[in-house]
Chain A
Amino acid sequence: MSPRIKVLRKVLSPPIIKGFKPYGLQAGQQHPEVVNLLYEEYEALRLSDYDKLNHHQASIMMGVSRPTFTRIYASALQKVAKAMVEGRQISIEGGKVYFDSDWYQCSNCHCYFNNPQKDIVVENCPLCGHDQINQFDFANESEDDHPTNCEDFCVCPGCGFEKKHRFGDPCNQQTCPECNHLMIRKKSTDPKKQKN
């Protein structure tokens, strides 16, 4: 049986360096192989020890469960300790991650856009070139005009419980609050509500 698929971990931004090298006479002599610290492990160290978040808060930041975060963190510590004790190089690369980016809204053409390159500050709308742009915060949007809302429903095949579907929350990963069945998606039946 193939192993369970790993959830993508959210990483705020890639580390500014690619790794660490030991120095001194014995550096890299006994153990020339490099320790590969994954991006998610770097992020776990950063959130937990640099930003001093607890594992629960940090797991939310990375979009994984608290136990998963603790495993990532434990693996990170293990690797860093190994590199220090054995005098190995650390290279920071790889891992099942994606990089989070900021969203903006243009007040002229009302388009939304993100900024994938963090080191460059956005000043103009990429579409119309207008300079009146606002940082867009999903949390401040009301439920009704939330861009991830759609007209479909998540339905429980067991008891028939229905709730509005939201983009980004796959129905088949949610359980019914009434009978703990896995939910399925149902298209909107009201023709008035369907999009164009």
Chain B
Amino acid sequence: MKIAIASNGNTLESTLDLSFGRCAYFIIYDSESKAMEFIPNPNRDLEEGAGPASVNIIASRNTNKIISSEFGVKIKPLLDSLKIQMIVLKEPTKTIQQIINMLNH
């Protein structure tokens, strides 16, 4: 299963980004192979529509879940119809390493 995490950096010590559409990096974590992929977000500085554009990137990699601390209004209906699960974690101090450890429960 592939899980996307909205991160504000490209290391394991980076923390969860405050927004999904305009986060710095997407981390695609594969829970079976434990592989990780860091994708820089090209939609960071978009005036409008950063969320849907980011969903496109995530969906093109067959992700099943997205972890972020906030999701925009335009994203929710999109993800619902794509059947991607949203996980809202309201702890912006958590590092990527901690989140991955939680995922490996």
- Which residues of chain A have a CB within 8 Å of any CB of chain B? 8, 97-101, 109-117, 126-130, 147, 167-168, 170, 195-196
Let me know if B18 and A126 touch, CB within 8 A: no
In the complex, how many residues of chain B place their beta carbon closer than 8 angstroms to a beta carbon of chain A? 26
How far does the alpha carbon of A170 sit from the alpha carbon of B74 in the complex, in Å? Answer: 11
User: A-B pairs with CB below 8 Å: how many?
Assistant: 62
Q: Which residues does chain A contribute within 8 Å of B89, judged by CB atoms?
A: 109-112, 127
- Which residues in chain B, 32-89, are within 8 Å of chain A measured between CB atoms? 65, 67, 72-73, 76-89
Given that A98-B78, A127-B67 are known contacts, is A167 also in contact with B73, CB under 8 Å in the complex? yes
Given that A99-B80, A115-B85 are known contacts, is A128 also in contact with B105, CB under 8 Å in the complex? yes
Let me know if A114 and B86 touch, CB within 8 A: yes
How far does the alpha carbon of A128 sit from the alpha carbon of B100 in the complex, in Å? Answer: 10
Let me know if B81 and A98 touch, CB within 8 A: yes
Let me know if B84 and A116 touch, CB within 8 A: yes
How far does the alpha carbon of A147 sit from the alpha carbon of B88 in the complex, in Å? Answer: 10
How far does the alpha carbon of A115 sit from the alpha carbon of B99 in the complex, in Å? Answer: 20
Looking at chain A's contact residues, the main secondary structure is loop
How far does the alpha carbon of A34 sit from the alpha carbon of B76 in the complex, in Å? Answer: 32
**Which chain B residue lies CB-closest to A105?**
B88
Starting from the known contacts A111-B87, A111-B90, A116-B83, 9 additional A-B residue pairs (CB-CB under 8 Å) come to A110-B91, A111-B89, A112-B89, A114-B85, A115-B85, A116-B79, A126-B65, A128-B105, A130-B105
How far does the alpha carbon of A114 sit from the alpha carbon of B105 in the complex, in Å? Answer: 19
Q: Which residues does chain A contribute within 8 Å of B87, judged by CB atoms?
A: 111-113, 126-127
Q: Which residues does chain B contribute within 8 Å of A110, judged by CB atoms?
A: 89-91
Let me know if B102 and A100 touch, CB within 8 A: no
**Which chain A residue lies CB-closest to B93?**
A196
**Which chain A residue lies CB-closest to B67?**
A127
